[in-house]
Structure 1
Amino acid sequence: MQSAAEHKGCRTAAKTAQAGCGSQTSQGDLPSEIWEKVKNHPCYSEEAHHHYARMHVAVAPACNIQCNYCNRKYDCANESRPGVVSEKLTPEQAVRKVLVVATTIPQMTVLGIAGPGDALANPEKTFKTFELVAKAAPDIKLCLSTNGLALPDHVDTIVRSKIDHVTITINTIDPEIGAKIYRWIFFNHKRYTGIDAARILTDRQLQGLEMLSERGILCKVNSVMIPHINDQHLVEVNKAVKARGAFLHNIMPLISAPEHGTVFGLNGQCGPTAQELKTLQDACEGKMNMMRHCRQCRADAVGLIGEDRSAEFSTDQIMKMDVKYDLATRKAYQDRVEDERAASVVAHQQELTQFAAETSAITVLVAVATKGSGLINEHFGHAKEFQVYELSTSGAKFIGHRRVDVYCQDGYGEEDRLSTIIRGIHDCHAVFVAKIGGCPKSNLIKAGIEPVDQYAHEFIEKSTIAWFRSYLDKVKSGDVQHEERGDAAIRQGALISAA
């Protein structure tokens, strides 16, 4: 596992166009057993998340800790954050849903249990679900998320259940900081608070991570960035989890809107700005793999990361659907996905050859409207989020996403939402879209953001690098004066989708 922990990235490398853990050409970068675990896991590979889907089943309602950033909600359809579900499932209902989703969405490769409480605070339901799914759909990867308090007690069961991926939320390794994040824990039939609670939790998290790594389980660590509480400290967390064998570190922004009803939301605790988040992720990236494509998904999320198709698969609906789980059909579909994915990598490599003998200190951020498959294939007015790339002569590097309210409602643009979208991508020099109307185009230009629609339905990396080459040429000729952009706002609160 040490070789996995030392792997330095899941994206195309500078100049050489050697891909990381996100494409077929990266197979030589990783031990074969690690490659098989990450190649089509959308959470563990940035490139795979453009092409493969995941689903969560909400079978674990109980939780053994209380975080100041969490408020679980049931029967809730209008919020997109961890701990929220529309309905809770039994293990039997869950496996039925898995089979329906995997038949309907053949690129669905991963089943996760992430609550809405804690997977290991509900061990009977969690492991029963995994047992049933493993028998009914043996090609699907099994994944669980936990706060880590009960983790050391279940490592043997995790190994026996053939769960290859475990995510642990570790926000601090300092109990004094932890006392500001956690209200209480319930451990060994007793409730603890304050520093005592945080110390027990931290010790159990790190112990569990080390035990899993020693057993060959691929571990991702989630950390919530909370300004003025643990933001600077997360560099130390990064070092600690790498030393214990973590493969991937995901630093996420605090979600703290008052309407969510969390302690932090109600007391006015702010979340980070886009630049603050990127600066911290950049500071940790040289030490281990960083995940930047996380969407802080609901506990019943279904589909590609960045989309949510859970409304299509309610319990009432799945009980009416015919299920014919066909491994051969799923494999054939995924083979076509791999061909598409490989074509995207080749296109990026070819575009990068234009920079073979050129270097520049200039870097820019650009936003991309996409429905997936690594393509610029979304209308500006229909975008629920924009993916953000950092462009340089080394290539196109994915750095995150920006959630936004949908601009078009019933065929008409909502001008009051345009200003919030612009604030969300204010640090970007350009926004790439499949199509855009005249009004938002003119407002973006006024804000200093170039709307780019000439690369509609083309590959993201190839297109953004082609645009960047043109941008550098304009800077050299004096037609454009390069200027640094300002910061951007990370969207808080419930999103407004198309009516």
Structure 2
Amino acid sequence: MITIDDLIRTGTGTGAVAAPVKSTGCASSSCGASGDAGELAPQIWEKVKDHPCYSEEAHHYFARMHVAVAPACNIQCNYCNRKYDCANESRPGVVSERLTPEQGARKVLAVAQSVPQLSVLGIAGPGDALYDWRHTKATFNLVARHLPDIKLCISTNGLALPDHVDEIVAMNIDHVTITINMVDPEIGAKIYPWVYFEHKRWTGWEAAEILHQRQMLGLDMLTARGVLVKVNSVLIPGVNDAHLADVNREVNARGAFLHNVMPLISDPAHGTYFGLSGQRGPTAQELKKVQDACEGGAKMMRHCRQCRADAVGLLGEDRGQEFTLDKLPDVIEVDPSQREAYRAEVERKREAQGVAKAAAAAFAPETKDARTLTVAVATKGDGLINQHFGHATEFLIYQADGGGVRFLGVRKIDEHYCTGGLGEDSALAGIIEILADVDVLLCAKIGDCPKEELAAVGIEPSDDFAYEFIEPSIAAFYARRREGAPADA
């Protein structure tokens, strides 16, 4: 039985080092596609096995949460406005509540009690987790004492990173995300109006150069100490779109584990400089083009959902509003056996999925087939085609060819099709636009009207593989298409 009094008695942990966190592990060979233990060194497998952000496979099973305990920031980005706050919006920097370390730890305990999928605690702001290090460290210390199996993660802009690497390592924080949008200060000056460093505000090229040098130093220091580093880059059309391949090569050379290229979220309602100045975000097709251009360097992450700084739950869902401070119980009873039982169940599911993937590989022809299929999948998780078309708020995108099936990314939709009879036509038009380059859509169920509309624009919808594993279903569909193709195709 753990109460808020227990947290207060143990102190905020500001001056203490957290107890070592047990590494429970995750798996993804490329993390843009599913992998298994045989494709990674054992020590890496153990670090990423249950981490939904570092493994495409794990994100089907495990949940993350962010606590908003670090409001201060040391740089200004043209795509960020931390003052804007909306409970219904999902984008980095947005929170409903800013918490003290004690409040943050209490919230983590409450989530751990109710969400057995929880495997990761991250601090991603809403400012910078390392510039606000006192609050970040205090929160981690409290959580680690009571939940030693929870992985600890930090997201940072990197400006203050070199100052804290020793403490990060000592606290067994073995996953760090750095947002790196440029390696050329000329481009950086278009993204960052100013940085605050060594008690001075810097602007223009000098600001971008300071940030660049600190980011590279911090990345070098982390990888030298065995910390897994994910690099986030915001794709800004006309600013750094042609430059991100250079970013990928540079961070790959310095040992980054993953590179996540994310689309700029640009809406005037958010009050950002880019939003108010008319800077547009990329289309799904433009994002894929840049991600593809980066292949061959640092491994690409393609399943990012650009989470809020107080997100809770599986990627693609946010249960944060269920765990606001006013809804937390005074007494929290955390039973570690619930998460242990859940992880055992996941291992059973992974074993079954591994068998299914092996079967999928058998569908690949012995000779390379140049034809490809781009497939959208509606899923609620567990690696299954298990969601109704009308309920989907996003689609996972895969590509199938003679070499097999690989994951390409996630495409969110602004409005799902089933809205109680309101706005269905506009919703369907938006979905069709987002899936313009898709050949096939697999889902658990789909009505006649959307089926006809999708077919009319060349997208073949199918619910033939409802509740089957994703990859083998796509492989079977591809084989069926190939066998039914004309001989001269």
1:93-492 counterparts in 2 under 5 A? 93-319=103-329, 322-404=331-413, 405-410=415-420, 414-476=424-486
Could you tell me whether the CA contact under 8 Å between 2:32 and 2:300 is conserved in 1? no
C-alpha distance in 2 between matches for 1:193 and 1:11: 36
Unaligned runs of 5+ in 1: 1-6, 13-18, 21-25, 482-499
Aligned to 2:66: 56
The secondary structure found in structure 2 opposite 1:180 is: coil
SS at match of 1:182: coil
CA distance in 1, matches of 2:53, 2:253: 21
State the match for 1:9 in structure 2.
Answer: 30
The answer for unaligned runs of 5 or more in structure 2 is 1-27
Question: Contact 1:365 / 1:388 at 8 angstroms: preserved in 2?
Answer: yes
In the alignment of these two chains, the number of paired residues is 461
Deviations along 1:141-168, whole A, 9 cap, x unmatched? 0000000011111111111221110000
Report the CA distance shift for 1:79/1:472 in structure 2 as closer, same or farther (over 3 A).
Answer: same
Distance in 2, Cα, partners of 1:37 & 1:193: 38
Distance 1:367 1:99 in 2: 36
Q: Percent identity?
A: 61
Question: CA offset at residue 77 of structure 1?
Answer: 1.0
The question of whether the paired residues in 2 share the 8 Å contact of 1:9 and 1:288 is answered with no
Residues of 2 paired with 1:340 and 1:368: CA distance? 19
Name the amino acid aligned to 1:377: N
- 1:389–1:396 contact (8 Å) kept in structure 2: yes
Equivalent AA in structure 1 for residue 390 of structure 2: G
Task: Please state whether the residue corresponding to 1:58 is helix, strand or coil.
Answer: coil
The residue number in structure 1 matching 2:55 is 45
TM-score between the two structures when normalised by the length of structure 2 = 0.91
1:191 aligns to what SS in structure 2? strand
Q: Is the 8 A contact 2:310 2:320 kept in 1?
A: yes
Paired letter, 1:10: C
Distance 1:88 1:74, change over 3 A: farther
Distance in 1 between the 2:262 and 2:174 partners?
Answer: 23
Please tell me the residue identity of whatever aligns with 2:145. Answer: K
TM-score by length of 1: 0.89
In the aligned structure 1, how far is the partner of 2:363 from the partner of 2:409?
Answer: 25
Q: Does the Cα contact within 8 Å between 2:181 and 2:247 map onto a contact in 1?
A: yes
RMSD of the alignment, in Å?
A: 1.7
Amino acid at match of 1:194: G
2:76–2:195 CA contact under 8 A, matched in 1: yes
* 1:268-293 CA distance string (max 9 Å, x none): 11222222222221222212211000
Letter in 2 for 1:261: G
Counterpart Cα distance in 1 of 2:245 and 2:388: 38
Measure, in 2, the Cα distance between the counterparts of 1:387 and 1:217. Answer: 29
TM-superposition CA deviations, 1:11-56 (whole Å, max 9, x none): 66xxxxxx63xxxxx3233232221111111111111111111111
Shift of 1:305: 0.8
* CA gap 1:8/1:340 in 2 versus in 1, 3 angstroms: closer
